[in-house]
Structure formats: structure tokens, C-alpha cells
Structure 1
């Protein structure tokens, strides 16, 4: 196991990414929150993100899936992205986080990914609509999961055998390709189920 000490190099690149991802994710969650307020005031409100029956936010926000825990999902995003952005900013400010904190962060992004995967399946297979702001959230969540997880594995924050650390280090250098491949999987599934290219 790689020892994590006070002299371990700070992941500045990852920190910058977390801040940027958090800003994008927070903006999407904020926009969805405003749209939810608009729908609460007027159920027939025409939202700026509604482009067609295939692409829009109203269906998602008004559905039971849009409030998984009894309150609007965007509120989860506002809280989650604020936390992730704060973590990135803290690292840039000189903070050196303990292993337990990194593991908790990883659990957080893994939980976010699990929720996003469920929401993706609901949008594609149940609601038959793609929400633009939701897709932005999906994109940054997927990227954040890969970035944090592969960093934790390659750096030894998550205790794993040396072979796994080496594999994670190799994968980390291909993180852009891995992330784009993840997006492609979602796009292919959506196309096969919704035939959105022909329905635009």
C-alpha cells in the first residue's frame, strides 16, 4: 500500500477539474431549480429548456422521478456540487486531505453516479424525453466519478494491490477517452431506444 503522508503531492489538476465541474453542475442544478419554481407557479409554463416532445425539462421535473426523495432533485445537485467545489477549492488553497476524506468523497461521487444512472434509465426507458440541463448534470457527474475514483486508486488513497494502482494510473492518463466512451454508451442506448436522431 502506498503511504499517504503530508509530503504527498497535492492533486492540483484534479482540484481545478473539481472546481470547474462543480461550477457547471451547480449552474445546471440552479437552472433546473428555477424551472421547478416556474412549474410550481404555473403548471403550463413554457420553459426555455423545452425544445420539443423529445427534448425538454418539464416532463422530468413534474414526474415522480424528478423528486426521488420527496423534494426536487435539483436541490441535491445544489448541495452536492457546492461540496465538491469546496473540496477542489480547499486543495487549491493548500489543504491536504486525509485518506478517509478521499474515501468519503469517492463514496459521494459513486452515490451520485448511481443516482444519475437510474435517472438516465428513467428518462430513456420510462419518460421518453431528454432533459438538457439533466444531461449536463449527467455529463459532469460521470466525469467527476472517473476523475476521483481513478485518482484515489492510482494514488493509494483507496488501499488496493500495486497491480490495480498501475492499471488505474494508466487509465487516468486516458480519462478523457474513458469519459467520452461513457457518454457514447449513453448516446447509443438513447438512440436505440428513442430513435432521437430521426425524431429531432
Structure 2
């Protein structure tokens, strides 16, 4: 596989993908272990269960936690492994074809769509927040934003030059945009669940 010149290699993105992927993988793996504990003992006390408002047993046992017929966390284990591998390969000098970047973007888009749906289910239907799920939310947003803006600004996704310029600016603001997204989720949770008064 051909190597990128050091100046062209998106090192910052690579490091971010490794870190975000590791955090997401840890959360997904822990959720998978908790699901196994519940299967072995439906009354098991899980480490993520803190109160009637914060816990993962309800989510793991609900239809929303197994929307494809198996635990959602297994999707995370597979997906975050790809993210980590991508970041590590970039640091090693790999150069990916446009189709790979587009595929990664499709995966990130699917992941954020699923995350947004699960956020809605947690807040408006299940009325409980899963700690490890929230960790996943916190890294899914910036991963989607970083990959999408990078693809737009670098031309992996063919768009007009004006869009590339906007994406280039937005790419530098991914942390702030992510913070805005997470604050929005927190505000919605507070308004719907009266989160702070129920802790």
C-alpha cells in the first residue's frame, strides 16, 4: 500500500480515531459483558446501575437494546475496532482509496443515526440513562463530524469548492460542535426527565 507524505498524512485525525475508538470499544465491550451477566442471572447487579435513573439493565433487556436480534453493543465492538484500525493504519503510513473513506463515512453516518435514535428511546421511552451508552454517544458525535468534515474538505466526497472551504473551517471546530451536540442532549434529558432533581 502506498505511503502518504508526512505533510499530507492526517495525523491528528488518526490519533483521534485511535483514542475515540478505544473509548468506544471499552464501552461496547463492557456493555457486552453486562449483557452476558444478565443472561446468566436476570437479577445480577451490574456495575453500571446506580439508581432508577442511571443504569444499563433496562436498556440491555429492552427491544431497543437488541434491534437487530443481538445486543447493540456487538455492533460497537465491531465498528470501533474498524475505527481504531483505520487510525493506526494512517499512522503507519497507509493511504486509503476514496471508496474506503466513503465507506467509513457511511458507517459513521449509520452509527450516529442509531445513536440519535437510541438517545430518543432512552429519554422519551425507557426513561433511564445508560452510563456506558452515554460514553458511546460522547465519542460517536465527534467521530462522525471529524470523518465527514475531513472527507468533504479533502475531496474524498466530491463537492463544490465552496463546500470544501466550509468543511475545512468546520473541521477545526469539531470539539466545539460536539460540545454543542452533547449540551443539547443534556438539555433535552433535563426537560423530559427532570434529570437533576431525580439524581
TM-score when normalising by structure 1: 0.95
Counterpart for residue 94 of structure 1: 93
Q: Matched residues in 1 for 2:159 and 2:167: separation? A: 10
* Structure 2 match to 1:56: 55
- The alpha carbon displacement at 1:50 in A equals 0.4
Residue 156 of structure 1 deviates from its aligned partner by: 1.1
Residue 9 of structure 2 is matched in structure 1 by 10
The CA RMSD over aligned residues, in Å, is 1.2
Seen in structure 2, the aligned counterparts of structure 1 residues 34 and 6 have a Cα distance that, compared at 3 Å, is: closer
Q: Distance in 1 between matches of 2:36 and 2:174?
A: 37
TM-score normalised according to structure 2 size: 0.96
Deviation at 1:148, TM superposition (A): 0.3
Residue 135 of structure 2: aligned partner: 136
Structure 1 position 97, deviation (Å): 0.7
Partner of 1:109: 108
Rounded to whole Å, the distance in 2 between the matches of 1:49 and 1:75 is: 18
2:19 corresponds to which residue? 20
Q: How many residues of Structure 1 are paired with residues of Structure 2 in the alignment? A: 196
- Unmatched 5+ residue regions in structure 2? none
1:54-79, Cα deviation, whole Å (9 max, x unpaired): 00010000000010100011111100
1:10 positional shift: 1.3
Q: Which blocks of at least 5 consecutive residues in structure 1 are unaligned?
A: none
Runs of 4+ in 1 over 6 A off after TM superposition: none
Instruction: Report the counterpart of residue 175 of structure 1 in structure 2.
Output: 174
Q: Give 3-state SS (helix, strand or coil) of 2:77's partner.
A: helix
